[in-house]
Amino acid sequence: MNEPVLTEITLEDIESLAVGAWILGTGGGGSPYLGLLNLRRLYAEGYRVQLMSPLDLDDNDRVAVVSNMGAPLIGQERLADSRNIARAVEMQEEFGGFKFRAVMSVEIGGGNGTQALMAAVHLNIPVVDADCMGRAFPEAQMTSVAIGGLRPYPCTLYDPRGIEAIVTKVPSWKWMERASRKICVEMGSIASTSKAPRTGREVKDWGIHFTTTAAIRIGRLVREANRLHTDPIAALLESEGGKRLFTGKVVDVARRTTEGFLRGSVAIEGIDDDRGSRLELSFQNEWIVAWREGKAVAMSPDLICVLESVSGHAVGTETVRYGQRVTVVALPAPAVLTSPRGLEFVGPRAFGYDLDFRSVFEERAGAGV
């Protein structure tokens, strides 16, 4: 067995992670604030979390993949609880008859970005510096492990009333999404879940690596810029190789729910350099396509992030509001998502847009700027 290098995640790192994960949430996944509060409290009680590289996993290690499933609005009343997420992981161990080596979040973006840390505190195992989205997406099959064709079951769901459920077998990731979603709704539309366990080999082959440290790095840049009154967005773009798409004011927000998703669009009217122009964003829980003068200028899986123009903090699809002053940026997607098979799961057609994926970043290279 390898002797992995473990680095302790400091409370400062967690504060940064919360800011960075919210940005990587690309508008969805709920705010990481409650996870941050949990971890502040746990750290005050003396708990600590260790981070390990996915490359240090043994092929036969087991890795738990956790997420808090449900509507972010419900999460504002039934608050994220570190013991619940740990319990969902223990259910996997009891069902499978093994012990996990480490834990990771299904998605680093949004509130789920802190779930692995919360579980790790009680399980006394490290967090793997990886996830399965590199951002946030609305559905269970929109992951690198689904793209990799890995097994989608079993999935455990835990509700603190004492309801425990395991979906032991499904024919596909889409069926897992449907079956587990039904159970989640019965639990009050919020549930702590532990997805299909992964082996070390699978995480090395199909995990999206070093996303925890990416979220920490992004959050640290923004927090540092806020402290020094410098431009957080410029710092973010430089560090992450991102591109500024638009700066303006939100002038229209339209939301509707279909099939349980929050869908809609936001219109942003340009200020400063973008004066006289208008950007429209379509969303399905997360920002999916950005349109300028009717032309798609950015689309999933490139990360479209809407940030408060001054603070650089993320603006969510549930919190975006008329009159907000925002800057829209694009960050490059992990390679697995932009592969031909990746685009079948998370490209524009997966969200119902008849568009061929074209990366913002290819365009720039093509223009020879």
Residue 328 near residue 268, CB atoms below 8 Å = yes
Task: Please report how close the Cβ of residue 201 comes to other proteins at its closest, in angstroms.
Answer: 33
199 CB-contact burial (10 Å; exposed 0-12 / middle 13-18 / buried 19+): middle
151/313 with CB nearer other proteins? 313
Task: Please report how close the Cβ of residue 118 comes to other proteins at its closest, in angstroms.
Answer: 9
82/92 with CB nearer other proteins? 82
Strands 127-128 and 49-52, by their bridges, are: parallel
Q: Does 111 bind other proteins (CB under 8 A)?
A: no
Among 38, 105, 156, 193, binds other proteins (CB under 8 A): 38
Among 18, 23, 63, 71, binds other proteins (CB under 8 A): 71
Measure the CA–CA gap between 100 and 77, rounded to whole angstroms. Answer: 31
Q: Which residue has the tokens 């996944």?
A: 29
Segment holding 283, helix H or strand E: strand 278-284
Which runs of E-coded beta strand occur in 12-99? 49-52, 62-70
The string of DSSP letters for 269-332 reads EE-GGGTT-EEEEEEESEEEEEEETTEEEEETTSEEEEEETTT--B--TTT--TT-EEEEEEEP
Task: Please report how close the Cβ of residue 100 comes to other proteins at its closest, in angstroms.
Answer: 21
Q: Does 156 bind other proteins (CB under 8 A)?
A: no
Question: Which tokens hold the place of 269?
Answer: 């009217």
Binding-residue pattern over the window 170 to 189 for other proteins, x denoting contact by CB under 8 A: -----------x--xx--xx
30/126 with CB nearer other proteins? 30
According to CB under 8 A, which residues from 187 to 206 bind other proteins?
Answer: 188-189
149 dihedral zone (left: phi>0; alpha: psi -120 to 50; beta): left
* Helix, strand, coil % in the chain, rounded to nearest 5: 40, 30, 35
Q: Which residues make Cβ contacts (< 8 Å) with residue 247, sequence separation at least 6? A: 270, 271, 272, 273, 274, 309, 326, 327, 328
Q: Does 18 bind other proteins (CB under 8 A)?
A: no
According to CB under 8 A, which residues from 246 to 305 bind other proteins?
Answer: 249-251, 255-257, 260-262, 269, 271, 285
Task: Please report how close the Cβ of residue 213 comes to other proteins at its closest, in angstroms.
Answer: 26
Question: Which tokens hold the place of 116?
Answer: 């692995």
Q: Does 6 bind other proteins (CB under 8 A)?
A: no
Q: Does 223 bind other proteins (CB under 8 A)?
A: no
63/262 with CB nearer other proteins? 262
Q: Which stretch binds other proteins (CB under 8 A): 106-114, 167-175, 233-241, 318-326?
A: 318-326
State how far Cα 73 lies from the chain centre: 17
Binding-residue pattern over the window 72 to 91 for other proteins, x denoting contact by CB under 8 A: xxx-xxxxxxxx--------
Among 322, 344, 356, 362, binds other proteins (CB under 8 A): 322
Task: Please report how close the Cβ of residue 193 comes to other proteins at its closest, in angstroms.
Answer: 13
Measure the CA–CA gap between 228 and 277, rounded to whole angstroms. Answer: 31
Measure the CA–CA gap between 136 and 26, rounded to whole angstroms. Answer: 7
Measure the CA–CA gap between 26 and 24, rounded to whole angstroms. Answer: 5
Task: Please report how close the Cβ of residue 239 comes to other proteins at its closest, in angstroms.
Answer: 26
Residue 250 near residue 267, CB atoms below 8 Å = yes
Tell me how many residues contact other proteins (CB under 8 A).
44
Task: Please report how close the Cβ of residue 217 comes to other proteins at its closest, in angstroms.
Answer: 25
Question: Which tokens hold the place of 312?
Answer: 């650089």
Cis peptide before 301 (omega within 30 of 0): yes
213/282 with CB nearer other proteins? 282
According to CB under 8 A, which residues from 40 to 59 bind other proteins?
Answer: 41
Task: Please report how close the Cβ of residue 140 comes to other proteins at its closest, in angstroms.
Answer: 12
Interface contacts to other proteins, rule CB under 8 A: 34, 37-38, 41, 70-74, 76-83, 160-162, 181, 184-185, 188-189, 249-251, 255-257, 260-262, 269, 271, 285, 318-319, 321-325
